[in-house]
Amino acid sequence: MNRVRLSAFATALLLACPGAILAQEKTMTTSTGMELVWIPPGEFMLGSTPEEKDWANGNGGNPKWTKFEGEQPRNVAIKPGFWLGRTELTVGQWKNFVNSTGYMTNAEKMDKSQTQRSDERNERLKGANWKRPMSDFNPKDNYPVCCISRNDAMEFCVWLTATEKKAQRLQEGMVCRLPTEAEWEYACRAGTQTRFWWGDTVEGGEGRLHWEGNKDGFEFVTPVDHFGKRGRNKFGLADMIGNVREWCLDGLDTEQAHAECYNGGNPWDGVTRGGAYHSKPGTLRCAYRGGRMLSNADAFNGFRVCCGLQEGSGHLLGTIASIPKANAKTKTDVRNITVGPIADAEMQKNAKKFGRNQSSIRGLYVVKLDNGQRLGSAQDIIATAERISSDRETICDFTTEVAKDTQISMEEAERLLKVRYPVWQAGYKIRFSYANKYAKQAGGSAGGAFAVLLQSLLDGFQIDPGYAMTGDVTVDGKIREIGAAAEKIRGAMLEKCSIVAVPVTNKESLVDMVILYSPAMLWSTQIFSIATLDDAAAVARKDRSENLTKAVALFAEVQSRLSPNSGAPALRNPWVYQSLREVLRLAPNHLSAEFMLRAANNQLPNALSLGESLEQVWAAAGPLLGFLFADYKEPEKSKRYYMDRVPKETTKMSLERLDWLQMRLHPKARDLKVAMVDYMVSLDQLHRMPTFSSGTLRQHLEKRDKVLGEAGKLGVDRKALEEMMH
Query: Does 574 fall in a domain?
Result: no
**Whether residue 288 is found in the same domain as residue 353:** no
- 3-state SS assignment for residue 111: coil
The answer to whether residue 237 sits within a structural domain is yes
Amino acid identity, position 201: T
Q: Does residue 359 sit in the same domain as residue 429?
A: yes
Is the pLDDT at 114 greater than 60, yes or no? Answer: no
On whether the CB atoms of residues 81 and 133 are closer than 8 A, the answer is no
pLDDT at 279 over 60: yes
Whole-prediction pTM: 0.52
Integer Cα distance of 344 and 122 in angstroms: 63
Looking at residues 671-698, what average pLDDT do you find? 83
The CATH number covering residue 136 comes to: 3.90.1580.10
Q: Is residue 131 part of a domain?
A: yes
585 lies in a domain?
A: no
What's phi and psi for 473, nearest 5 deg? -135, 150
For 635-717, where are the alpha helices, taking DSSP H only?
635-643, 650-661, 670-688, 694-713
Task: Tell whether 274 and 359 lie within a shared domain.
Answer: no
Q: Which has more confidence, 515 or 214? A: 515
* pLDDT exceeds 90 at position 565: no
Written in H, E and C, the secondary structure of 193-247 is CCCECCECCHHHHCCCCCCCCCCCCCCCCCCCCCCHHHHECCCCCECCCCCCEEE
List, in sequence order, every residue forming a beta bridge with 501; answer none if it has no partner: 469, 528
Q: Taking 70 as the threshold, does the pLDDT of residue 1 lie above it?
A: no
Amino acid type, 516: L
Average pLDDT, the chain: 83
Question: Bridge-partner residues for 247, per DSSP?
Answer: 272
**Residue 106 DSSP code:** T
Residue 201 belongs to what domain range?
14-317
**174 — phi, psi (to 5°)?**
-105, 150
Q: Is 603 exposed, middle or buried (0-12, 13-18, 19+ CB in 10 A)?
A: exposed
Burial of 32 (0-12, 13-18, 19+ CB in 10 A): middle
Residue 285 sits in the same domain as residue 362: no
Same domain, 81 and 208: yes
287-296, 377-386, 529-538, 672-681 — which one is most confidently predicted on average? 529-538
Q: Over range 282-297, report the average pLDDT.
A: 91
The model's pLDDT over 608-628, given as tens digits with 9 standing for 90+, comes to 888 888 888 888 887 677 677
For residue 555, being part of any structural domain is answered with no
For the sheet with 358-368, list strands across it.
395-398, 428-434, 374-387, 358-368, 467-469, 499-503, 526-530
Average pLDDT over residues 4-14: 32
Share of the chain above pLDDT 70, in %: 84
Of 61, 121, 54, nearest to 284 by C-alpha is 61
| 137 close to 220: Cβ distance less than 8 angstroms | yes
Residues 6+ apart with CB under 8 A from 593: 551, 555, 580, 581, 583, 584, 587
All residues at 6 or more sequence positions from 244 whose CB lies less than 8 Å from its CB, including other chains: 88, 144, 146, 221, 274, 276, 277, 300, 301, 302
Find out whether the peptide bond into 139 is cis, omega within 30 degrees of 0: no
Burial letters for 144-158: b for 16+ Cβ neighbours within 10 Å, e otherwise? bbbbbbbbbbbbbbb
In the chain, the percentage of residues whose pLDDT exceeds 90 is 45
Q: How many domains does the chain have?
A: 3
CATH assignment of the domain containing 405: 3.30.230.10
The angle that helices 485-494 and 509-516 make with each other, rounded to 10 degrees, is: 60
Q: How confident is the model at residue 395 (pLDDT cuts 50, 70, 90)?
A: confident
Assess whether 397 and 259 both reside in one domain.
no
Domain limit, last residue, from 543, 572, 601: 543
Closest listed residue to residue 424, CA positions, set 468, 463, 385: 385
Q: Are residues 207 and 352 in the same domain?
A: no
Whether 268 maps to a domain, the answer reads yes
Give, in degrees to the nearest 5, the angle at Cα 349 between 345 and 355.
115
- Residue 334 forms part of a structural domain: no
Is there a single domain that holds both residue 632 and residue 527?
no
Contact 654, 625 (CB under 8 A): no
* Confidence at residue 268, expressed as pLDDT on a 0 to 100 scale: 76
Per the CB < 8 A criterion, the answer to whether 173 and 431 are in contact is no
Alpha carbons 178 and 242: distance in angstroms, whole number: 18
Same domain, 297 and 179: yes
Average pLDDT over residues 233-239: 94
User: Which among 153, 174, 129, 140 has a CA at the least distance from the CA of 305?
Assistant: 153
Burial of residue 644 (CB within 10 Å: 0-12, 13-18, 19+) is exposed
Query: Burial letters for 505-529: b for 16+ Cβ neighbours within 10 Å, e otherwise?
Result: bbbebbbbbbbbeebebbbbbbbbb
d(CA 124, CA 106): 19
Is the pLDDT confidence value at 211 over 70? yes
pLDDT of residue 200: 92
Q: What pLDDT, on the 0 to 100 scale, is given for residue 20?
A: 33
307 and 358 fall within a common domain: no
pLDDT digits (tens, 9 = 90+) for 309-345: 888 888 777 543 333 332 333 332 323 334 566 777 7
**pLDDT value for 340:** 61
| Rounded CA separation 240/286 (Å) | 9
DSSP result, 262-306: P--S-TTEEEEES--TT--GGGSSTT-EEEEETT---TTEE---E
Same domain, 298 and 400: no
Q: Indicate the pLDDT class of residue 643, thresholds 50, 70 and 90.
A: very low
Quote the CA–CA distance of 78 and 73 in Å, as a whole number. Answer: 15
pLDDT at 531 over 80: yes
- pLDDT at residue 630, rounded to an integer: 59
Residue 2 pLDDT > 70: no
Task: State whether 271 and 188 are in the same domain.
Answer: yes
Closest CA to 404 of 181, 179, 184, 250: 250
Q: What is the pLDDT of residues 18-67, one digit of tens each?
A: 333 343 468 888 888 899 999 999 999 999 999 999 999 999 988 888 88
Show which of 543, 558, 583 is a domain's final residue.
Answer: 543
Helix (H) / strand (E) containing 431: strand 428-434
In a domain, 559, yes or no: no
Own/partner pairs for 543-552, CB < 8 Å, 24+ apart? 543/461, 543/462, 547/586, 547/587, 548/586, 548/587, 550/586, 551/583, 551/586, 551/587, 551/590, 551/593, 552/499, 552/526, 552/587
